[in-house]
Structure 1
Amino acid sequence: MENTAAPIAPALDELVPSRYALKVGDVEVLVISDGVLPLPTQMLGHNVPAADRAEWFEEMYLPQDAFDWALNVMVVHSGDRTILIDAGLGMDPDLQLPRAGQLIRRLGAAGINLGEITDVVITHMHMDHVGGLLVEGVKEQLRPDLKIHVAAAEVEFWKSPDFSRTNMPQGFPDALRTTATHFWAEYSSYVHTFQDEQQIAPGVTAHRTGGHTPGHCVVRVASAGQALTFAGDAVFAVGFDQPNWHNGFEHDPEESARVRIALLKELAGTGEMLVATHLPFPSVGRVSLEGETFRWVPVFWDF
């Protein structure tokens, strides 16, 4: 008799990887995807003609109207500290972004208990970097001695934020204001501010860059002669080919370009690794400089 039965495969919640582990010297790093955020293509270069943007998107085999921005965060284990760098978007039903805001679930899938986190570094207070802390039930799971590190200039900026130089889709400025206000109301007692530089743990240091927002910072992880910089929103996918293109979320576009170029030159010189919030997951790579042209060199995945 013919056996027509077939083994039943376990259901898969996700068909793509959402975390990537690596070591920087003796420091353990985990890049986690918070999902993706669909946005208009003009957000990557609103200061240039539409034809120039269209050419770049065509060369990159990307759609012309809107595309998915990656949302990446990092977890760093250094000594007895477990550090979360940025907290993702959280869940904002008014913005209808169902494929974003996955961080809390994916931390659990990675075996990371929220109560283990000793420190959070917020690169800046845009909603896709603080929103995960505002998900219902999260605050109750965090440890009472949690330290949230934010540049003092960032805290000051969000008391009366200026959106006059940005170029965002409708609804985003109000959502950003509301989320920053909500974050401060919930977590101000946890916040530890710094001026220009703050060591978070052995080999883990936050550096204020400004530009994208006045208090925007990057986080450098260095150990045993190796290094990695989490660049937050200082670098976007188009920024290697066109570092002077203005991103719609930049509060000071010219300063953002200067910060971006300086950071890319530094990383090209040192050869250290780069991770950024909106580079395609897992966004781990290096920067090559040929003349005045930057090139992103993704790492080969290591299994």
Structure 2
Amino acid sequence: MTVDRIAAEGLDELVPSRYAVRVGDIEVLVISDGILPITAGTLATNADTAEFGHWLDERFLPRDVLDWPLNVVVVRTGDRTILVDAGLGLEFPDFPRSGQTVRRLEAAGIDLGAVTDVVLTHLHMDHVGGLLTEGVKERLRPDLRVHVSAAEAEFWEAPDFSHTSMPAPVPDALRSIAARFLDEYRGRIRTFESEYEPAPGVQVVRTGGHTPGHSIVRLASGGDGLTFAGDAVFAPGFDNPQWHNGFEHDPEESVRVRIQLLRELAATGESLVATHLPFPSVCHVATAGDAFRSVPVDWDY
């Protein structure tokens, strides 16, 4: 059977979009929300142009606009089904290759009504937009709890973009989507200060840096561990952790957070998953002199 016929008959996706791992007794499903086009320079705003160009060339990446992966995670433990971030959603026609979270949840046999908790690493539009897609809110259970740090919710009441370096239309879109999300979900939001445990073995920890309330999710069970780092780590951040990402609201603090997290993961050997690492993004961290390197896990099939 040809590739075209496989696609036409809908037998399966040609490229996998979900990947399951276990952390002790905790089930983890990494789901690709799709990809976003991004100006390459946004990934390293303080890098030497020639050095960054060489970094891109070595990875066969274009120097103008590249595809940025977008991943979310589902955590199932005990009677809790926790969605970590929600992707971009379907209300952005300029990004037709993203916003796939809901469809891919359903393809994995996870109904929206089964989700007991949502954890948001931060309120950028590519992390909350999926909850604003038409018809999604009505399908969520009435007792759904949405967990976000208090510092994050407070920041988006009057966001400061003075230290970011984003494409011109982006700040207004970020501001609008975050305000809309806070308005529509205010009754379901549960804030925390520095850390929170929505279920045994699931810990949400505020790191700051990328945004004032940016948080990571740490899983631990049966001696195993996995960290969902959200936007604390990007692909260039392993071998060049000092490079700034244009979306970082406090670039210097982001560097500190990134280095501290990567050092810890390199020491413990636990797995790392991050929003914008190539799907399925599951990897380990190794040291490489004063920097780091990503060591992808072997696919288990």
Could you state the TM-score of these two structures normalised by the residue count of structure 2? 0.96
Report the alpha carbon displacement of residue 253 of structure 1 after superposing the two structures with TM: 0.3
Q: Give the one of 167, 170, 175 matched to 2:168.
A: 170
What is the aligned partner in structure 2 of residue 3 from structure 1?
A: none
Q: Secondary structure at the match of 1:179?
A: helix
Instruction: Give deviations 1:141-162, integer Å, cap 9, x for gaps.
Output: 0000000000000001000000
Q: Give, in whole Å, the separation in 2 of the partners of 1:157 and 1:116.
A: 30
Q: 1:43 maps to what in 2?
A: 42
Give 1:270-285 correspondences, 5 Å limit.
270-285=268-283
Matches of 1:92 and 1:59 in 2, distance apart? Answer: 35
Instruction: Name the residue aligned to 2:55.
Output: 56
In 2 relative to 1, CA 9–155 (structure 1 residues): closer, same or farther, beyond 3 Å?
closer
The reply to whether residue 86 of structure 1 matches residue 85 of structure 2 is: yes
Tell me the amino acid that sits aligned with residue 120 of structure 1: V
Q: Distance in 1 between matches of 2:82 and 2:152?
A: 20
Runs of 4+ in 1 over 6 A off after TM superposition: 6-9
Q: RMSD value over aligned CA atoms?
A: 1.5
Give the residue type in structure 1 aligned to 2:243.
W
Query: What residue is the counterpart of 1:288 in the other structure?
Result: 286
Of 279-288 and 13-22, more deviation after overlay is shown by 13-22
Aligned to 1:231: 229
Match of 1:259 among 233, 248, 257: 257
- Cα offset, 1:92, TM superposition: 3.2
Query: What is the distance in 2 between the residues matched to 1:66 and 1:15?
Result: 24
Number of matched pairs: 297
Once residues 133 and 13 of structure 2 are traced to their aligned partners in structure 1, the CA distance between those partners, rounded to angstroms, is 21
Decide which of 98, 105, 108 is 1:107's aligned counterpart. Answer: 105
Counterparts of 1:64 and 1:8, CA distance in 2: 31
Deviation at 1:66, TM superposition (A): 1.2
* Gapped regions of structure 1 (runs ≥ 5): 1-5
How far does the alpha carbon of each residue in 1:241-261 deviate from its partner, in whole angstroms, 9 at most, with x for none? Answer: 110000010000000000000
CA contact (8 A) 2:7 2:14 kept: no
**Equivalence map 1:136-285=2 (5 Å):** 136-285=134-283
- Aligned residue in 2 for 1:119: 117
Change (3 A) 1:8 1:88: closer
CA displacement at 1:64 relative to structure 2: 1.0
Task: Note if 1:17 corresponds to 2:16.
Answer: yes
What is the letter of the counterpart of residue 84 of structure 2? Answer: I
Matched letter for residue 221 of structure 1:
L
Please give the per-residue CA displacement for 1:280-301, whole angstroms capped at 9, x wherever unaligned: 0000000001331201000000
CA distance in 2, matches of 1:105, 1:64: 32
Q: Whole-Å Cα distance in 1 between the matches of residues 260 and 156 of structure 2?
A: 26
What is the CA-CA distance between 1:10 and the residue it aligns to? 2.5
After TM superposition, the score normalised by the length of structure 1 is 0.95
Paired residue type of 2:49: A
Contact kept? 2:7, 2:13, Cα under 8 Å: no
- Give 1 or 2 for the bigger CA radius of gyration: 1
Measure the CA separation in 1 of the matches of 2:231 and 2:55.
20
- Greater displacement, 199-208 / 48-57: 48-57
1:116/1:48 CA distance change after superposition, 3 Å? same
**Cα offset, 1:51, TM superposition:** 1.4
